Structure formats: C-alpha cells, structure tokens
Amino acid sequence: MVVVGARLAYLQTSQHDWLTRRARAQQLNVEPLAPTRGLILDRQGRELARSVDTDSFFAAPGEIENTDEAASALARVLGADALSLSTRLRQAKESRRSFVWLARKVSEEQGRAVRELKLKGIYSMQEPQRRYPNGGLAAHVLGFVGLDDRGLAGVEQVYNATLSGEAGRLVVGRDALRNTFESAGGPARPGQTLVLTIDQTVQYRTEQVLAAAVERAHAKSGAAIVLDPKTGEILALANAPSFDPNAASGTSAEARRNDALQNIYEPGSTFKIVAYSAALEEKLTRADEPIDCLGGGINVFGRYVRDHTPYGTLTTTEALAKSSNVAAIKLGMRVGNERMYEYMRRFGFGAKTGIELTGETAGLLRKVEKWQPSSIGSIAIGQEVGVTPLQMAAAFAALANDGVRVTPHLLREVRDEGGEVVQRTQPESRRVVSAETAQSLRHMLEMVTLKGTAKRAQLEGYTAAGKTGTAQKIDPRTRAYSKTKHVASFVGFAPVENPSVVIIVVVDEPVGAYHGGDVAAPVFREIADQILPYLDVMPDEEIETPSTPATRLVASAPRAQGDGSAAKGIEGQAAQPVNLPVVARGEGLAAGGEIREVVYASAGGRALLMPDLRGRSVRDVARVCAQLGLELEAYGEGRAFRQSPAVGARLEAGQTVRIEFERSD
C-alpha cells in the first residue's frame, strides 16, 4: 500500500499535467467553428456579399461498420473518388482518429442526398459559405474568399479581420467504449458589416455600358470609374472582362486583374490639364490669350512634335478644346521642369491614391534630374509618364471640386452586429489649385465637348466637360511606339457649374477607331445619361425654341429598385396637344425610370426645325447646336443677330448653320 500510495502521489503531482493532456487527446477532438462573416452592403444598404449556412459532413471512423460500402455510397453523392475516400477512412480508423472531414460546404441537393443515406458514423454540421447575390457585380471591388472563409482579394482581403469575427469551437468527445458524442463548445462571434460607397445601380449600369463598349471595339480590356468629386466616394469601379466571385477559382488571372488601379498607361492628352492648370495658377497665361501653334509643329530640343491638325493662332481655351500639342508644350515650357513636377505631384501622380484595395500601383513619374532636355515637351502632352485610371479620375475630381483633391475611397462605414456605426471614413483633402483656376479649367474643358474633340460626350439636359486622350502603346519588341496599338480614354464631369460625378473611361487596344473622342467619349455619355437622373441630379440645360404645335407623350415608370435591371416599358401613356419646342429625339424613358418627354411634330414623323437663336450668346448658341447635332459656323462676338437657315426651317442632322454675332455697345 505504501508503494501504491507513493506511486499515486507521484502521478498526481509531477505527472499530472502530462497525463491530463494525454487523456484529453484520447477523449476529445476539438474543431474550430468558423464565425458568420460580416455583410458587405452598398451605400443604400443593399447586400453585395453575405454568408449563408451550408452543410459540411465529417465521419467518426470507429463507428463505420463497412468502410468500403460507406465510401462507395458517399462518393456517388459527393462526386468524390471512392477508393481514395475508403483509404482515408480506413487509415483514420486504424490510427483511432475520431474525426475526419468528408466534404465541406456542399450544395443543398448534396446535403439532402447524404442525409438520406442514413450511414452510421456520418455526421453533419453547419458552416457559413460566402455568397455574392449579384453574381459578377462589383467583383473587382468585393474580391472573394477561400474555402476557409479568408479573404483573398478586394475588400474581402483588406478588411478580412473586420469581416471575420471570432471563431468558436466544436468539441467531439469519446467515452470508454469509444462511442463518440458531441458536446457544445464556445460560440462563434459574427463579423462586422462593411458599408461601401458603391451604389449597386450605378455599378450595374457602368459595367453594362463598359462591357458593351469593349465588345463593340474588339478591345483587349476596359476600365471605368464613377467618382463623387466633393466627397471622394467611388460610386462605381468597373473592369471588362470581369468574373463571378462565386466561382473565382475557375477564372483566369487576367479576368481578376483590377485594371482601374493596376493598369499603367501613358495618358496622352488627358494629362494636358497639368500644364494648363500650372500655367493658369502661376499667371503665365489667360483663357483668352492667343497662342501661335506654329502651323502644327514644334521642335523641342531636337525632337519634332506635330499636331493632329495644323493650327495657326488659337486662344488657350481653343487650344485645349482642339487638343493642340504645340500649345500644351509651349505652356509646359513656360511652367518649367521644377514647377511642372511639383504640379504633377500635387495632382497625385507618381503616388498611390490609398484606395482600400490591394495591388494598386503608383504609376511612373521620374524625378526631374532624370529628365531628358526634351522631356518637358513629352510630359506636357502626356508622354514619358505612366498613370492609372484611378489617379486620372482623382486629378479631374480636384478641378471639379474647385481645386480641392479629396482622397478617393470605397469604405463608407463599419457597423457592429447590432447595426451601430463603429467607424466612419474621414478622407483627407488638400488644395491643388485655386478655386479660380479650377473654375477656369472647367469652362475650358466644357468647350472640349462643345467645339473640340469630345463632341460625342455631350449629354441630354446636362452640361458636361472633359478631355479626350489617345496614346500609342510601346511595342515590347521594338521598344518604340506601336502604330497599331492605342489606349483611348476620356475623363469628364457633369454638370459643369456644380459637378456631381467624375467619370473616366479607358479602353485598351481598340480595333478600328482608336481615338478617345470616338471610342471613350460615347461611353462617358451613355453612363452619365443613365446615372445622373438616377442620382436625382437636376438638369442644368434647357433648349428654348419657338413654340410650335406638337404632341407630347409623357412616359413614366417606377424607379428601378436596385435589382440590377433598368426599368423597362412605358406605363400610363398619355398624349395631348400642347405647344412645345420641336426637338424630336425619340428616346422616351431614361434608364432608372425617370419621367422624360418625347416631342414629335404634329405632322407625324420626327422633325428637326431651326430654332430662333437671335439674342443668344456664343456659348448658348454653341450648346444648342451641339444638342441638336448641328455644325456651327460662328462669326463675330457678342449676341447672335442673324442666322441661316431661317427660323422654322427643316434641318438635317449634322447640317452646318451660320450664325453672326455683334456686340450691343
């Protein structure tokens, strides 16, 4: 008894911890329980990503009577290899393991089929699985998760800790007869909810328009961003091609690439805003200053640069509208290397924007000491620099926001499981140029859409401003500019006086037409025409024409409820004779269900009649002609006093009209 007592004392003291661990290892098997991952919502509270409970199956190998039969039955249902499954179960049984995963997060049909087998030793548990209810919508923003519910891309990866919550545990016990039983462990704590700046409807329409444009142009890829310039909130970020995050493992790396913030390209003429902004800010030019464009060519330290069209003397505004390289280079040389570099940095080029996504690149911007003598000429027209679409959108947003650049961002707020806001994004802002310079640039950029290279960016009912860009790509074989591969882009905002959105469209390697004004500007127009009414932005443009008997057809429909589809059809049609201007366009219902008017001539078919433009300013006349699709020949300054054709004359689309102006001094 003394010996036994001594032995017991020894085991209970010095061997206690070791024996306890061995006992627990024999009796218990602890498996972690994944918490429910937090929701991802759009700015309106609509679900972009959620987790749903799915069945996962495991086996207690010691309880399975016939391993081969069980493995064969499970393999048929789960689509697994019967021999491999049988081998795993047999090895686990021989090693006395009490827990073996069979299949995790199976479909509802598979889960039902496994339960119907009623196999002894086969158990199930609920595990959350990530689902994206809108398929590929905002895929490059949301990203995706792996089998373990860990974020692998997008905001799922960046905010993985916030979304993940705290794991619980499942304790599987085994008695002295080696029978297994389940005992409750610690519960999992769900993750927090992310509310993004993305608007589901704006995102959907942007993606649809971009994808159609890329297909139409037979392009390699495309990117588009819709940004609120006042808050820095990104309403939409789209790439084409895209992918479905519900099946991300089966997609290519090219489809998952986020070109909106990873694709570095030479911006071309869209970059001219830097030289123009710097020259205006430093009082080195005026909007109405005449600039000699030298007949369309300039020699910059041995490098000869041409304009796409030979120009003589143009005002600074006209030079920007017509995208004169010579004028931009002259302004850049006035600014000088050091100040030019400073303004590029002010606008955010050469640095990451800080958006809450992985993989963003800083672009390419060499320090001044590494410039060649001719570099100032190249940089002024958007060469020898590399930017991303997001950087360029943020730069234009600074001009749209009276010279203040607000950091672009995707996260609006974080909410806890009770719905309380625990974090709200406060973006940084800094002044880039003065409000006076920004306002001057806005009006100069408006002329690009009215009289310059971006006439196809004009909107219905809204003023718009922006800049086209057409850049040659570098041929990797010759290290020289390619003659066949281009990047077409357009960056713009609307309305001009109080911009609500900045939209950038970049199309990589379009086939056929490749100029920004032909490829990207129409995409801007399509996106803006759809989203501005949806965002309740009031039209700021009215076309006044003589009262003519006409018939008004009012088409109305409820606003789309965020289901990813535009309103279709016309509800409650009503027609009545009224006196309205005859501007027959034929499009009745704008996407988004906004009430619009369609005006038809009383004679029956569509008609376009010459309005009375007398007494209007040059700017107003140019806008009216742009809206009607007419080419304007303007003579003189001041107010219109004579026009041809006469008021009320029938016009053809694209017809040239002559307007003479005079000052009423």
Residue 636 burial (C-beta neighbours within 10 Å; 0-12, 13-18, 19+): middle
Spatial distance between the Cα atoms of 275 and 253, rounded to a whole number of angstroms: 37
Q: Which residues contact 418 (CB under 8 A, 6 or more apart)?
A: none
Spatial distance between the Cα atoms of 314 and 360, rounded to a whole number of angstroms: 39
Q: Where do we find the tokens 């007949």?
A: 295
Query: Nearest 10 degrees: CA dihedral of 360, 363, 367, 370?
Result: 130
Taking alpha carbons only, the member of 240, 190, 253, 234 closest to residue 212 is: 240
Q: Which residues contact 261 (CB under 8 A, 6 or more apart)?
A: 353, 355, 357, 359, 360, 361, 388, 389, 390
Q: Are 444 and 317 in contact (CB under 8 A)?
A: yes
Q: Where do we find the tokens 């929701």?
A: 39
Spatial distance between the Cα atoms of 87 and 167, rounded to a whole number of angstroms: 31
Q: In 95-199, which residue ranges form alpha helices assigned H by DSSP?
A: 108-117, 139-142, 154-158, 160-164
Token couple for 173: 């016990």
Is residue 378 annotated as a catalytic residue, yes or no? no
Catalytic member of 56, 98, 164, 269: 269
Q: Which residues contact 84 (CB under 8 A, 6 or more apart)?
A: none
Spatial distance between the Cα atoms of 112 and 277, rounded to a whole number of angstroms: 66
Spatial distance between the Cα atoms of 445 and 497, rounded to a whole number of angstroms: 12
DSSP letter at 421 equals: E
Q: How do beta strands 480-494 and 501-508 pair? A: antiparallel
Alpha carbon of residue 532 to chain centroid = 16
Taking alpha carbons only, the member of 32, 49, 38, 411 closest to residue 191 is: 38
Q: For residue 50, give the amino acid letter.
A: R
Alpha-carbon separation of residue 357 from 2, 97, 164, 409 (angstroms):
71, 42, 17, 9
What is the number of other CB atoms lying within 10 angstroms of the CB of residue 77?
19
Concatenated DSSP letters for 175-189?
-TT--EEEE--PPPB
Catalytic residues: 269
